[in-house]
Every structure is written in structure tokens, then in C-alpha cells.
Structure 1
Amino acid sequence: MTFLPPITAYTCVCAVGRGHDALRAALTGMVGGLTRFDDPVGVLDTFVGRVDGLDTVELPADLTDYDCRNNRLAELTLRQDGFEDRVRAARDRYGAARIGVVLGTSTSGIASGEDAFLAWSGEGPLPSDFVFEHSQDLYSLSDYMRRRLHLAGPSYTISAACASSTKTFIDGAQLIAAGLCDAVVVGGVDTLCETSLRGFNALQLLSPVPCRPNDADRQGISIGEAGGFALLERDDCGRGDMPRLIGYGESSDAHHMSSPHPDGLGARLAMTQALEMAGLRAGQIDYVNMHGTGSHLNDRVEDRAIADVLGASVKCSSTKGWMGHTLGAAGAVEAAIVLVALEAQIAPGNLNLERPDPEALCRPLTETVPAGLNHAMTNNFGFGGNNCCLVFSRGGPQ
């Protein structure tokens, strides 16, 4: 087994609430957070996973130039589960220059750009309160977090569609393995915006009901917003009780701009790589968090890929029925779900799954159940054929 960084802190905020406890309660209670989208122009009939309270979140006085919905969600997420304190302690141990920031997003603060163009007269510059560098720019998120946490190590943003924040775990582990960092803040944030909602509607992918991944009657995806962070530290940090990233795999099949390879070649390759790096046999994966968006093609392709690599009997489910597809933040939030599952020894159910697809090979769990989990896998597959897979192991003796 290749030993990779322990996860010494993690947190997330999504439509079901803030932090570990809210996420655990939602998973065990089978209570989701999707609500009907209140479309101001009355065109879209869909559900979204909205995070309440972002309008009242205030950034520190010296960082108000970064004010936008995405960075407000980053700030709110940072305040949960003592995450900021854990990063501060790591900074004291290693020094600011030895801690990196690698975060993922697909749209960053593009909602601020949308607002600016709506307010624009059509002549002259855009409104003065719109600063592209500090809002819509993809690096805005990582730059805000770097400044907010007073860190000075390598810092950049990954935008690889729905695999964005999954890939940050891989890059963070590699920065530590290369000796460039002693710790890395990884994760991602994405927020609701017109571009995502109208764009997925144009692709005819939005579901008119809360998304139903793996259901025979699934009708598409529900867009959500979320933030999730994790702190990876070097192997000698003395936290043997913490969960650990033990394997990862990534591929780029480049089959189509928005559709997965019909035989799931890229997905299978990423899962196989992760399994091999972890030094595990297929039967040792106790649970798989599926990418499972609720679209007909995605769910079918992933089902066959999982059955091919791990076997059709593996415990699995998609958890997007709770908070929707959070795009660039999906990997971070679903990593948090897997970490909660390992800690609580539960296998999450597949919310809104009423009639399993009769053509599916795997049988996703319909309810959250107690389970003895030692190793769990999470998949995220993005537009353009970006495929990432992570394998986590619970902390302590196994």
C-alpha cells in the first residue's frame, strides 16, 4: 500500500446544512435539501440545492474587494468544524511558506459578472464595484483563501469541470510527496449562477423534479452550490487516528465535450489506477460514492464501469439527491461524505431512488445503513472526459 497524506481536518457547507453534524444527520435521516428554483423570468422548472444565509456573510474588512457569492460561501465554509483553527495550528508548525492552497471551481464568482452586465448601460466601462480579478476570475477563490489564512505556499485553482475539487486532493498529495509543501488546503467552492442553470437547461439536462440518480425514471440533474475544504498533512504529522487518502487515479478520455465515453473507458482507468495505488483488491472497497448525476447516460456508463472494476455487488450510491450536483465543488463535498461515512460507519443511501433501473448491473442502496467501512472510493467525472477517483481509509486500527 502506498501511504499518502492523512486528512487532519475537513468541513463542508451545502444545501443540507453546515459542517459534519448537519451532513451526518441528513445522511442518516434521509432528508435532502433540494428546493424549487424561483426563476425570476419564469422559464426554468427545476430544483436547486441552495445554501441559505450567504447574503449576510461578511468578509474580513481587509478582504472586502473579494466580496462575491462564491467567496462568501468559502468564508462560511471556513468557519465550520474548527477548520480555520486547524490550519492556523499547521501554519504555526510548518510556517506559512510550507502550506499550499489548491482549490477547485467551475464558475467561481461569475454571478458577479452577470450582475455587472445586467446593470451596465451598454456604454463605457462596467460598474466600478465589479472587479473581475477578485470575483469572476478562477483564481479569486484560491487567492482569497490564501490571503484569508495568511499562507504563502504554492497556490492555484483547478477548473476541470465536475472533477475540479477531486483533482485538488491529487495535486495536494503530490505537492507534499515532492517536498514542496508540508500541508495543503484542498477542496472547492461553486455557487449558483445563471450561466450554469441556463447552460444545463440548454443541454436539456435539468430535472423538473428533485434529481433521482440511478432511478429508472430519472429525468436529469439538479444544480446545487457548496463549499468543502480538507487539510492534507505530511505523513509524520503524528495524527494516526485520522482518515487517510491512500489511492487516487485520474484520466482524460477526451471522448466528447459533455458526454462520457459510452464504455466508461476513462472512468474504469481512473478507478483501476486508484485501486492499484491503494494496494487493494476490488473486494476490499467497502463503499463507492458514485458520481451519479441523474442523467440517463452518466448513470448507465458509471454503473457498468463500477461493475467491471469492483463487481456488481459492491455497496454504492449517489448522494447528489441531498444537495444536487455542485459542479466544481462536487468532489470536495462527496469526499466529506465519504469521510463522514468512514467515521460514522455508515453506507449512505441513494436519496430519491424509488425504482432502481432494471438495466443496471449494480444495486445502489436505497437507505443509509450501518456498515463496517475500512476503505471507501469516490468518483467524479467532468465535461471533456476529466475523470478522477479517490480512495480513503479510516483512521486508527483496522
Structure 2
Amino acid sequence: MDGFIADYFSGADRNVLFVGGAGFDPRSTVVATRIAAVAPALRALLLQEHRPKPPQNLLDRAVGNAQYLAATLVGAVIEPIDIFGADGAVIGGRNAVSVLARQDFTDLTDVVVDSSALSVGTSFPLIRYLVERIGQGKGPVNLHVFVAHDPNLDASIQSIAGDAPGYVHGFRGGSTLDGAASAAKLWLPQLAVRRRGALTRLHDFVSPHDTCPILPFPATNPRLGDELAEAFLTEFESAWSVDTRNIVYAAEDDPLDLYRTILRLDDLRRPVFQEVGGSSLVLSPVGSKVMALGALMAALERDLPVAYMEAIGYHLDGSIPTVTEASHLVHVWLEGEVYTQPRPKLHSESGSAR
């Protein structure tokens, strides 16, 4: 991946906008450092997600990361993003898109979104906005999404679930239409450690007819899938009524694996339920950021709703390093000149995908 970054972004014809997070996450600086080292023309928009009453140690980490990024990305604009409104409503995604929309896209060749240190509620709307701009011919030419993959760190960051489940901004799909009321609803929650409370509330919110939990396999920890299944055994057997044949396995480090799996499920269900109200898939990516990227790609292509519980806060053990450089980088070139134009769907009947 470092080779691709060095070869591609160092081109004299590249004019790049970098969009990322400037928060407490130790991965905040990983992608930015690499691109800043080679890109000759680079602007940066850094978003700081603001939640009520953050712990002081996380504030200190965020300040340190922001200072480092400001020094590395010369001229970077740092924008605070309120995740919750005064009434407790989730407004982070809408606020983030509003900030991004004020950017000047003239002459940009590439936009890089680094979702490593951004929540799903922030990164998904940003990426959707850019995909729609490109679809309308407004530019930029190329859209790249990067994730610094570190499943151990994902598990170490403990989120404090809010009490207001809802749909991510821009990802309601057809869930609110009258015609969707009779659709057979399949919920695809991505299971993750310490997320039982959030997933329980999301299940009640979605109220699905069936549930297909998503487990990581292969994974860095080869027993992680078994451990998660054991942790959610009560939900499997009672509240969710999960048949073991309906468990979905997807590679922890490859977003295309989950992306293809979701689309196959959608393709299989549509003809089965088309005469009885249709089929509706609802996604809930709450664990690995790489797997969440796979869910995002499927949601974009099929306009699937994404049900999500925005965190009101986080805890991170003080023993976790302030900055990490060991993360494995995952890159998805979502839109751009690498594809034939007009670009075909991400997934086709022939099974091709990107």
C-alpha cells in the first residue's frame, strides 16, 4: 500500500483534498502522514467529533493528534463537529456534510477520505455526499477511502451507547416508505465485543422478521467468531431467534468479502419475496472499520438502510499508545479514472466486483 501511495499521489498532476478525523484515535495520523509525505498539492479538512463531557485523557490525545496533523498537513482546516444537538438529536452526519459541501472542489483530481478515526455516523454521510457529487458530474474525478485496520484497537475502544437508535444520515433507504411496511425485513448486524447493549436496542428499533448476524472469519484472532457467538448466545437463542445456518461469515480485513455477501443475499431474497411485499435488508455496522466499509459499499449500491446507535462517549485504556504506525492500510478506489466510463455498478450479474 505504501508503494501505491508513493507512486500515485506523488504525480505532478495530482491535486488532492484529504478528509479525516482529528480525534483521540491512535490511527488519526497514519494515512495523513503517508500522503502528506508525497503529495505535491494537498489540502486537508480535519473533523473533530464533539460529544458531551469527554474524559480528559481522550481530550489530551485529541489535542496532541490535532497538533501533529496541523504540522504535517500544512494549512489544514480543523472543523469541530457536534454529534448531538441541544435536544439530544443525532446531527453529526448532517453537520459533517455541511462542512464538506463548503469546500472548493475546483481543479481537484482526488478526494481521500480517511475513515480510520471517524465514526460510521460521520464517515458514511461524507462518502455518500462525494459519490453523489461525482455521479452528478460535479467532481472530483477520483474518490479514495482509506482505513487503518487494527482489530485489536477497535476492540479496545469502548463506546458508550446512546439511547436513540436511528438511521445514519442519508441511509434510510426505503425504510420510511409506506410500501416498505409489508416487506420481509432481514437485519444484518455486525457483531463486536462490548456492543451487546447497542445491538439489543438496534434490534428493537429495526424489529426485523429475521436476523443474520455477521461474524469475522478469517480474523486476526482465529477464535473471535466463536467468542462472539458465545457472547451473544442468549440473543441467538431467544430475542433474535437465530438459526445457526443464518450466520454470515466475512473476512475481517477485506471489505469486498462482506460487500459481495450482502449483495448475494439481496439478490437471493428479491425474487422469493417479490410477490408478498418485497424484501428489505437493514445493515448495522458496529465493529471493525474495514467490515463497515464493505457494508457501506453495499448500502450505496442498493440504497440499503443503515441502522446505527451513535456513541455518546468513549473509553480507551491509558496503556494504548497515543499514536500507532503498525496498522494495516486498506484502500478502496470508489470512483474515478481507473474504471471505464460510465462506470458500471460495483457488482454485476456476472459476479464482477471491485
Say whether the fold is shared (TM-score over 0.5): no
TM-score, structure 2 as length reference: 0.39
TM-score, structure 1 as length reference: 0.36
